[in-house]
């Protein structure tokens, strides 16, 4: 009989969403994960179809909604938010939206975040006839 050793499991890295949570907590925000997973499937649903996280801080008015992604997908996430009517309602209610784009620097080998703030003026206004 040959004795087999169990395979070592590779340590999983920190997810991009978790990186955003850590960054926001360092900035003094209280952060909540509002993305939910559909049972028995690999599908996740964002809050209002655009937010993975929400964050609050006493000295910052409103609630900050965050979509966390890689920098290569950041433009697509911004477009997705601008196509979502509830995102405009969120902003008009006095809240804010940010898209966090994460990239591991080849030079420093550290994770860097590019923050894109979505503003009400970013939404295309329909032409009235």
The verdict on residue 92 lying in a domain is: yes
The verdict on residue 33 lying in a domain is: yes
Structural domains counted in the chain: 1
Dump pLDDT digits (tens) for 5-34. Answer: 566 555 567 899 999 999 999 999 999 999
Instruction: Give the three-class secondary structure for 85.
Output: helix
**50 has pLDDT over 90:** yes
Neighbours of 42 (CB within 10 A): 6
Give the confidence band of 4 by pLDDT, cuts at 50, 70, 90. Answer: low
Is the pTM value of this prediction over 0.95?
Answer: no
Distance in angstroms (rounded) separating the CA atoms of residues 26 and 83? 31
For tokens 């550290």, what's the residue?
110
For position 99, what pLDDT does the model report?
98
The verdict on residue 59 lying in a domain is: yes
| Structural domain of 95 | 16-121
| Mean residue pLDDT across the chain | 89
The verdict on residue 3 lying in a domain is: no
Dump pLDDT digits (tens) for 83-98. Answer: 999 999 999 999 999 9
Q: Which domain CATH number covers 90?
A: 3.40.1350
DSSP letters spanning 14-75:
PPHHHHHHHHHHHTT-EEEE--EEPTTSS-EE-BTTTBSEEEEETTEEEEEEEEEEEGGGHH
The average pLDDT across 61-84 equals 96
The verdict on residue 11 lying in a domain is: no
């Amino acid at each position: 009989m040959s004795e087999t050793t169990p395979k070592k499991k590779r340590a999983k890295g920190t997810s991009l969403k978790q990186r955003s949570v850590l960054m926001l907590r360092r900035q003094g925000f209280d952060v909540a994960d509002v993305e939910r997973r559909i049972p028995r499937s690999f599908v996740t649903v964002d809050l209002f179809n655009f937010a993975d996280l929400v964050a609050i801080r006493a000295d910052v008015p409103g609630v900050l909604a965050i979509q966390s992604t890689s920098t290569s997908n950041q433009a697509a996430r911004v477009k997705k938010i601008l196509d979502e009517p509830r995102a405009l309602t969120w902003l008009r209610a006095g809240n804010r939206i940010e898209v966090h784009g994460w990239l591991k620097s080849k030079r420093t080998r550290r994770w860097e975040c590019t923050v894109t703030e979505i503003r009400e003026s970013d939404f295309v206004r329909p032409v009235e006839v």
